[in-house]
Amino acid sequence: MKIVMKLLLVFVILGILAAGVGYFFVYRPNIRVQDNGIFLIHKGESFDTVTLHLQERGFLQNEYTFRKVAGLKKYPELVKSGRYKLTDRMSNNELINLLRSGRQEPVHFTFNNIRTLEQFAGIVSKQLAVDSSALSALLTDEQYVASLGFTRENLIGMFIPNTYQIYWDISPLNFMARMQEEYRKFWNDERKHKAERAGLSPMDVVILASIIEEETTRPKEYPIIAGVYINRLKRNIPLAACPTLKFALGDFTLKRVLKIHTEVESPYNTYKYKGLPPGPVRMPSVQVIDAVLNYRKHDYFYFCAKSDFSGEHHFSRTLRQHNDFARQYHQALNKRKIY
């Protein structure tokens, strides 16, 4: 009887020890986080690489126990790329469950003030695991762009500057699909109705907004300038918009538009060709797009920068009045030796 009792005691002690070891391996805190806890796993990375990076970041306290639990949970065969948020004092079990699940922490992807699709591809690749060359290939593939309902000239108008929650390891194709969906959401029934009342399509609005954003840095002027351009479109008068010339010339630093510039052969030359150019001259902000949709109704057909270089504009009903303001502005440019 005593022998049986001793054996039972031994088994109990062994069980306690086993439970203790199990707790130490599986449930004891093993992760230390002293920063934001963001941990990236790139596509194709192996379990050994993931473990090495956890150590290099100072997250992993005991590599041996992590590897043992990972093996038991078959994580080495289930590594998933992504952007994960680790928390201080996570156990091996919690960490491996997180990484196995692919439950990522999304990126707050933000963009604005973009002039070209090439620039946009670079900004995307800095925030997401999207290769800029792969994205650029899609942006310039005419057949693919057409399948989205756009042209190479107006595709830049599909991207609505904002902040979006996107998974870091999104593919270029899925990224484009997401941006297309955001464009559709943005152009809700209310915005479409306002565009229709102005006699414009959604892309027409974006094109106008892109020009206006280059014309002024004063948001209060956005709806007034929009009204000027809409008046000119309705009367079939050329827009004569300097930003479209700068786009055609590939020089947005041009400080003074001369007669020679207005003779450039380009569909973006709105001095030579009536109507809107084939696409936006930049990626306009939501504020300017909405200003076009809510444009000021007035009888102005012209506007000119003020000669005090305040950034504000004079608005005119007649060409004579406009020419007077233009003369003042050109004299001010001459005084500053801006030729």
Range list of β-strands (E), the chain: 38-41, 82-85, 107-110, 163-166, 302-305, 313-316
- Whether 105 shows a pLDDT value over 80: the answer reads yes
- Whether 204 shows a pLDDT value over 90: the answer reads yes
pTM of the model: 0.88
pLDDT band at 219 (very low <50, low <70, confident <90, very high): very high
Mean pLDDT of the chain: 92
Give per-residue pLDDT as tens, 10-64: 444 444 444 455 554 677 999 999 999 999 999 999 999 999 999 999 999 999 9
Q: Residue 226, class by beta-carbon neighbours within 10 Å (0-12 exposed, 13-18 middle, 19+ buried)?
A: buried
Question: Which DSSP string corresponds to 51-70?
Answer: HHHHHHTT-BS-HHHHHHHH
Cα 81 to Cα 75: distance, rounded to the nearest angstrom: 13
- Whether 5 shows a pLDDT value over 70: the answer reads no
Res 12: pLDDT: 47
pLDDT band at 4 (very low <50, low <70, confident <90, very high): low
